[in-house]
Structure 1
Amino acid sequence: MSRFTLRIWQVMLGGALAVLLLGQISPVNAIYAINIDVMVFLFGMFVVGEALSRSGYLDMLARRLFRHARTPGELVILVLFCFGILSALLMNDTLAIIGTPLVLGLAARSRLPAKMLLLALAFAITTGSVASPIGNPQNLLVAVNSGMTAPFVTFASSLLLPTVISLAATWLVLFFFYRKELGVPLAGETGPATAPDPALTRIVQCSLAILVGLALANIIASLFTGAIVIPLPLIGVAAALPVLVFSSRRVAVLRSIDWCTLVFFAAMFVLMAAVWETGFFQSVAGTAGVTSVPAILATSVVISQFISNVPFVALFSPLILQAGGGTARLMALAAGSTIAGNLTILGAASNVIIIQQAESRGETLTFFEFAKIGVPLTLLQVGIYAVCLGVL
């Protein structure tokens, strides 16, 4: 008898259908619960990511970026810090879409465990995004709700140092669990480089230029105005347009993008809205205490596993502001709700994107495989951020 395995998007879709059938949320409220901005942004990034992979340009970038690594340990360090830095500028979900096929190709060519590099990617883009107000949606929400006048300066001055230390700690944790694999010489690359498609390469280079340009425009605008002037959906659509308009392979790209992940997110929004309407987690968050930075860190990590970090921050940030605010508390909220993604797969949307992308390419990470390394890593990182925020 063949083994039947449910994928994560199927589980989430089943949960959303269950709350609809049980009447825990009305069909109208379910439709309104789906965040169209997120869906449009992800769709645009999936188009760019698929075109990058098909063009062969992504393979070329990976070879150039990681060719200087002489050992598996150096390769993991490069993955951690390159993607960690980029996630602070391009948003972690974007890097999850682009980075998954890149590290899978890297693992195949270097004959390294794909799971190890997938974990390195997931932890890198989650941890690296802590240090920037545009690294992830919950950080942006903290910056906007608190009315920070210089969000990039505030985040960097409070969170850059612990984030760099946390990336280094991530390497140590991965080395502990994969010391056998990291203790051998790096195998030479196997197989020829993917033959690039010149026409599609030029188009995806244009898409990347638009993506980076709009991200830089947001950074500059936030430095002078404190606001993000270009919304995420517009960035996603603008980056995808060159592929959709000018590429002769647009139909193949559209057929191959990760539609299952889009289904997952739509279902997740419905399920989280149903949970939200119970009022249970609001009461838990309200009684957890907003005066203590350790309590904020711990509460953020735990509750973000159940209602996702963005709705948690939407609930918790007004409580902190009502209690007097304070940079340390707000930064603890941003850090805790973000590194919650390192605890379990469901702690961050970027984790789900990575696993869905990996499954479509024949690889995966189970909940236990992720948590086995993610739990000790998260506990270590909570301690790092607590110390650097001056609470211990």
Structure 2
Amino acid sequence: MSDWQIYLVVGVFSTVILVIAFNIIDMTVAALVGASLLIALRILDEQDLLDTARTSAGPISLLFGGMVVARILATTGLFDVIGDIYLRATAGSGKRFLLLLIVVVAPLCALLPNATTVILLAPIIVRVARALDVDIASPLILTAILSNAAGLLTLVGDPATFLVGSSIGMTFGEYLRYASLGGLLSILTVVPLLPFIMRDIWGVVRPVPKRDRRARLQRPVYAALSLVVLALMMLLFILGEELPTRIVPPAVAVIASALALLVAFAFKIEPTDRVLRDVDWKTLVFLACIFCLVQAMVKTGLLQVMALKLHEWFGTNLMLVTLAMICGIGLLSSLLANVPVAAASIVMLKAYLVTAEFVPEAAMADQFTHWPQTVIPVFVGMMYGATLGGNATLIGSAANIVAAGVCANEGRPVTFARFLRYGLPVTLLQLAVTAAYVMILSKILR
């Protein structure tokens, strides 16, 4: 690639980020125009698009499948029941509302992609917020932030985490052993910040509205079968890779979406085309376009240069490299969608580890799984940086984008600056806490 092409890629990349940050153009339109420009100028060719499709297929399939399952569950009436219970449990207290939100979000995000959790819980949160007469945007932003942090509890909770883990052949059980505790710490970190970043809700005390009637499931058999599909998806997330046929999480999500659509079709609840129309295609298109932009950055060779720089700066000191991953990837993930950032960073980190002779040249291949224990904390640090860095800004993760979309649909659009006001302090503290954890992990595995 010539110098002018490299400058053009960096220029397009930077322009897309700036127009999104300053809310000049809709973020999906900006990303789509940027990717289209690089394709039209032949900077991205057919092979690049195929490489992008291969890299992005897993995370996007994971999100798509989760969105379909969430959409079907929304028709069961289950959320009305949960929302009724949630509202009564708050007893009209804003403090309880926020603390219970953590209790609700964390278990779901452990076994469902974070954007899916936001989709599932959004109707409940909107209902409770309105009953307590508080702004719906703040709790939805908090839900996105919590879902990103809770996504670190398991390998499938966040697409960026899954992408990094799958790139080194990490199993569900290995992830629990090495990385889950950092996810728990990042959730707990949010609690002491709530009185400051959510002060408009924290001190609220309202009388709980009287209910005319208790919410009930109108179609209990249909609801039960939909929950069976959800339970099966969760079970296969945990055990699918241990089966003889080895079903990976993205395939599990797609299978679950097919089963959910089949259940809805059999009970004739809604036409399939209406269900699919309600999938958040805007978020999926945005992520696909950002993957294209990242592929262009890979093609420039800048990532390989960064790998050499890492070796030049830090030599073979993996502790410093790990901290650099948390801070550097955290910063990049706040400026871009964290999933594509993770995809690009994997290439850079593997190249560094080969250069530093921790692993052979064969480690650059996707099939390589013989990673020494000493390098595992570096990848864990990358997971933390990518996932938690995404908490800082509106475009940092798919969950943030979905939450902003819900707010816009409810007439309460969220600006880049407003999300930053909530997300930045949380992100800085979470990255500091997880950095301390990874340092301890590095010493244990040394």
Match of 1:273 among 295, 307, 327: 295
Normalised to the residue count of structure 2, the TM-score between the two structures is: 0.75
Match of 1:11 among 19, 30, 36: 30
CA distance in 2, matches of 1:151, 1:257: 27
- SS where residue 342 of structure 1 aligns? coil
- SS where residue 89 of structure 2 aligns? coil
Q: CA deviation at 1:83?
A: 0.9
Please, which runs of 5 or more residues in structure 2 have no aligned partner? 1-22, 359-371
Match of 2:398 among 345, 349, 356: 349
CA distance in 1, matches of 2:184, 2:232: 25
Indicate the structure (1 or 2) with the bigger Cα radius of gyration: 2
Match of 1:128 among 150, 158, 164: 150
Q: Name the CA shift for 1:89/1:333 in 2 (closer, same or farther; >3 Å).
A: same
For 1:208-287, what aligned pairs fall within 5 Å after superposition?
208-221=227-240, 229=248, 231=251, 232-250=253-271, 251-287=273-309
Asked if structure 2 preserves the Cα contact closer than 8 Å seen for 1:88 and 1:130, the reply is: yes
CA distance in 2, matches of 1:313, 1:247: 45
CA distance in 1, matches of 2:180, 2:59: 26
> 1:76-117 CA deviation, whole Å, 9 max, x = no partner?
112123212321212213212212233222222222221211
Q: Name the CA shift for 1:132/1:258 in 2 (closer, same or farther; >3 Å).
A: closer
CA distance in 2, matches of 1:162, 1:254: 35
Question: Which residue number in structure 2 is paired with residue 170 of structure 1?
Answer: 190
Normalised to the residue count of structure 1, the TM-score between the two structures is: 0.84
Same amino acid, percent of matched pairs = 23
Q: Name the CA shift for 1:202/1:6 in 2 (closer, same or farther; >3 Å).
A: farther
Asked if structure 2 preserves the Cα contact closer than 8 Å seen for 1:339 and 1:378, the reply is: yes
| Alignment-mate amino acid for residue 169 of structure 1 | T
Match of 1:363 among 391, 408, 412: 412
CA distance in 1, matches of 2:113, 2:380: 18
Question: Do residues 303 (structure 1) and 332 (structure 2) align?
Answer: yes
> 1:161-196 CA deviation, whole Å, 9 max, x = no partner?
443332222132232022243112144247767977
Question: Which residue number in structure 2 is paired with residue 184 of structure 1?
Answer: 204
Match of 1:338 among 383, 387, 394: 387
Asked if structure 2 preserves the Cα contact closer than 8 Å seen for 1:260 and 1:356, the reply is: no
Q: CA deviation at 1:160?
A: 3.8
Question: Do residues 318 (structure 1) and 350 (structure 2) align?
Answer: yes
Please, which runs of 5 or more residues in structure 1 have no aligned partner? none
Question: Do residues 46 (structure 1) and 67 (structure 2) align?
Answer: yes
Asked if structure 2 preserves the Cα contact closer than 8 Å seen for 1:343 and 1:375, the reply is: yes
For 1:129-208, what aligned pairs fall within 5 Å after superposition?
129-148=151-170, 151-152=172-173, 154-189=174-209, 198-199=218-219, 202-208=221-227
Q: CA deviation at 1:209?
A: 1.9
Q: CA deviation at 1:337?
A: 1.6
**Which has the higher mean CA deviation after the structures are superposed, 185-194 or 68-77?**
185-194
When the two chains are superposed, the root-mean-square deviation of aligned CA atoms in Å is 3.3
Q: CA deviation at 1:234?
A: 2.5
Asked if structure 1 preserves the Cα contact closer than 8 Å seen for 2:81 and 2:217, the reply is: no
Question: Do residues 390 (structure 1) and 439 (structure 2) align?
Answer: yes
